[in-house]
Structures are given as C-alpha cells and as structure tokens.
C-alpha cells in the first residue's frame, strides 16, 4: 500500500484502498486501484443488480442509508452524474447535488478544493462524488475528507469509474478480458477516460493496444510507461481503417477541444484549428465500420459531437462517430452508458459496506 502525504491527512491509495486501515475512508481516485481482484466481485454484483433492475426485483442491499451522498460537479456531465445519482437512489441513498460547482459553489470565489471538501465533508455525507476541472483535484478533495471521495473525472487526469463501466461492458459483450486487441482513437492526449481504461486493461493477460491519433493528440508518456512496464505491446498509427480492422474493441473518443492548451492564446487557437481540420480523418462512419471485424465492438464514453455542431469559438466540429453507425449491432456505446448505473451501484455498495466503513460510522450489519 502506498501512502501519499498531503497537507492535511495521509491518504492510503491501494486497491480499493485501505486494507491496513479499518478507519480510513475508501477513496476511488485512480484506475490503478482497480485491480482484477477488486473489479471481478464488483462485476458480478453489477450483473446481479442489472438483472434485478430489469425484473424490477428487490435489490437485497444492506447499507446504512442514514447519510446522503453528495455529488459535486464542476464540469458538464450527463452520464456520470445521472448514473451515480440513480445508482445512489436505487441503493436507497438521498443525493444532494450541484451540477455546475465551479459556477454555483464558492469555488468561483476562489475557495480551494481542500476548503470546499472540508466544509461539505463536515455535513456528514456517506460519500462524495466529485468531478473537478483540474488534474489532481480529486486527491486534494480526498485529503480533507473523512468520508470516501469518488473521482468522477479530474481535468486531464483520470476517470476511474468510467473505466470500470467500460471494462464491464467489454466483459459483457465479448465474454473475456484476456488476450484483447484494443484500439483507442481520437484525443488521447486530453481525454481522461482512455488513460484510466488502459491502466485497468493492462492487468489482464496479453493486452495489445493500438493508439490512433494525430501526433499532437498522442497518449501521454506517463501512461504509456506504466503500460509498457506491465508488458503491454503498444502500436501507434494514423490509419483508422487498418486499426479498426485489427481490433476486438474499438474505443473512440471526442476531440477535447475545450482542453487544448498551447503556450500562448495564439498557439492554443492555432493548435485547436489544426486539430479541428483533421477531425474528418479520424471519424467513424459506415465505410470504416465495413472494415471492422464481425465479432468486434465499438465503444465511446460519450458525449460524441453531433453533425453540424458549432462550438463557442464558432468552429464547426465534425462527429467522431456518425449517427449512421448507431444501428450496427457492434455499436455498443448506448449499452455501455447504461452499464454505468449497475457498476456504480456495485462500487458504492462496496465502498460503503459497513464492515469496511470508518469505525463507528457504519454500524456492523449482517452481510
């Protein structure tokens, strides 16, 4: 178990965190916490929840739902926030939410992540789900909390629970996680989902990864090093069709136009324009799908850009997956999105399970 000393507290970051500490909260901050030993039981529970919800059966959960869950989102979110809140609701928790935390909370007045966390943590929530706009802020939030913090995406950093539902979907759709050929394409420099997903998949035998993006949007060397140290074979290409024809899983992502950052404002605008101009080369339509293997699947964390969308700078963005692909049975992104609810139910149940909760806070209950 690795200890990270922060300004206020010592955090224990290890697989679901805290085996050596019965009193520390079980934060979920980085994908490397989600090893196969941790995620396999979660997946089984998620399958169970999915079946029960489909049949509208009682869920059979034993949780102390006295305290509410806070969801604090500083950036736009549709899937992560709603699926967490629906998951919490299905487990019997009330949720207190702010959807635009950077605008409607005191963060806009210059309050630090630590102070914000110290205050809302003081209201005794069962857990906080936070999406923060700066990389590393999830850790800063957690450092001030006595309850679990779940990272719902921190800047260009990580998005571990998206990766959890992505891996669950691959397992459900393909029936295996070993020996996978995975293609990741789009904005691999600024997107956080691919950074987390690659790290969870790297725990499984024989992962081969093909990364498809323009050089400016290559995946960060920090993640590539982690993957290579685990023996993952990584290929990089700009040839979408060849990559798609090779993969078992094709994981496509949006140009994170709002995150592109150069050394100056002019450089940022120049880089963004250049990337917008190249979008068509990295788009998946029916022609690319015709190259895809029969048993393969196409995933996307969503949102994708709709045709004709013009952003705040007046740039028209090109869709990374065209709607004409949606009826293809290999297009699994909406099934993937639904799985966010069941995997997040399993995760919430696990981190709030009374036998692991901070001493005294979650009284022992029969499991």
**Which C-beta is closer to ligand NCD: that of 224 or that of 304?**
304
**Which C-beta is closer to ligand NCD: that of 25 or that of 191?**
191
- Strand runs (DSSP E) across the chain, as ranges? 2-5, 10-13, 69-73, 95-98, 127-132, 149-154, 181-185, 208-212, 233-237, 249-252, 297-299
Q: Is 153 in the site for ligand NCD (CB under 6 A)?
A: yes
The helix or strand, by DSSP H or E, that contains position 80, with its residue range, turns out to be helix 79-90
CA distance 320 to 219: 17
- Angle, helices 333-351 vs 36-54, to 10°: value is 110
Q: How far is the CB of 271 from ligand NCD (least distance, A)?
A: 18
Q: How far is the CB of 255 from ligand NCD (least distance, A)?
A: 9
Q: Is 159 in the site for ligand NCD (CB under 6 A)?
A: yes
First to last CA, the chain: 26
Nearest of 193, 182, 133, 188 to residue 160 by alpha carbon: 193
Q: Is 196 in the site for ligand NCD (CB under 6 A)?
A: no
Q: How far is the CB of 305 from ligand NCD (least distance, A)?
A: 9
What tokens does 260 get? 């592109």
Q: Is 301 in the site for ligand NCD (CB under 6 A)?
A: yes
Q: Is 254 in the site for ligand NCD (CB under 6 A)?
A: yes
Nearest of 153, 190, 208, 187 to residue 300 by alpha carbon: 187
Given a contact cutoff of 8 angstroms between Cβ atoms, the answer to whether 74 and 102 are in contact is: yes
Residue from 237, 302, 350, 358 touching ligand NCD (CB under 6 A): that is: 302
Instruction: Kindly state the number of chain residues that form the binding site for ligand NCD, as judged by CB under 6 A.
Output: 12
CA distance 292 to 335: 19
Task: Name the one range near ligand NCD by CB under 6 A: 41-49, 190-198, 234-242, 349-357.
Answer: 190-198
What tokens does 141 get? 């939030």
Q: Is 160 in the site for ligand NCD (CB under 6 A)?
A: no
Site string for ligand NCD, 88-127 (x = CB under 6 A): ----------------------------------------
Nearest of 250, 320, 318 to residue 284 by alpha carbon: 320
Site string for ligand NCD, 76-95 (x = CB under 6 A): ---xx---------------
Q: How far is the CB of 153 from ligand NCD (least distance, A)?
A: 5
Given a contact cutoff of 8 angstroms between Cβ atoms, the answer to whether 183 and 247 are in contact is: yes
**Binding stretches for ligand NCD (CB under 6 A):** 79-80, 153, 159, 162, 191-193, 254, 256, 301-302
């Amino acid at each position: 178990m690795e200890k990270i000393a922060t300004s206020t507290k010592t955090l224990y970051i290890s697989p679901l965190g805290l085996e050596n500490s019965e009193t520390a909260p079980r934060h979920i901050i980085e994908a490397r916490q989600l090893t196969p030993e941790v995620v396999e039981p979660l997946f089984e529970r998620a399958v169970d929840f999915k079946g029960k919800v489909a049949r509208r059966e009682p869920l059979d959960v034993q949780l102390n739902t006295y305290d509410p869950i806070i969801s604090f989102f500083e950036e736009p979110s549709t899937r992560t926030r709603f699926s967490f809140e629906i998951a919490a609701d299905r487990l019997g928790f009330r949720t207190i939410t702010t959807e635009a935390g950077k605008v409607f909370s005191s963060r806009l007045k210059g309050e630090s992540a630590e102070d914000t966390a110290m205050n809302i943590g003081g209201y005794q929530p069962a857990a906080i789900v936070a999406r923060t706009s700066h990389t590393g802020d999830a850790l800063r939030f957690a450092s001030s909390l006595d309850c679990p913090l779940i990272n719902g995406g921190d800047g260009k950093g990580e998005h571990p629970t998206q990766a959890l539902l992505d891996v669950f979907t691959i397992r459900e759709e393909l029936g295996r996680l070993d020996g996978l050929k995975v293609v990741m394409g789009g904005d691999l420099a600024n997107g956080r989902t691919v950074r987390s997903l690659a790290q969870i998949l790297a725990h499984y035998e024989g992962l081969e990864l093909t990364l498809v993006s323009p050089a400016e949007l290559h995946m960060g060397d920090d993640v590539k090093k982690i993957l290579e140290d685990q023996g993952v074979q990584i290929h990089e290409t700009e040839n979408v069709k060849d990559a798609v024809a090779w993969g078992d899983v094709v994981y496509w992502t949006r140009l994170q136009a709002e995150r592109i950052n150069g050394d100056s404002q002019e450089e940022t605008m120049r880089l963004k324009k250049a990337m917008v101009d190249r979008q068509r080369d990295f788009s998946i339509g029916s022609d690319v799908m015709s190259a895809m293997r029969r048993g393969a699947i196409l995933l996307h964390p969503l949102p994708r850009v709709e045709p004709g969308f013009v952003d705040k700078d007046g740039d028209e963005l090109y869709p990374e997956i065209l709607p004409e692909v949606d009826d293809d049975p290999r297009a699994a992104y909406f099934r993937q999105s639904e799985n966010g609810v069941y995997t997040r139910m399993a995760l919430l149940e696990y981190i709030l399970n009374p036998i692991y909760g901070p001493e005294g806070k979650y009284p022992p209950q029969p499991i």
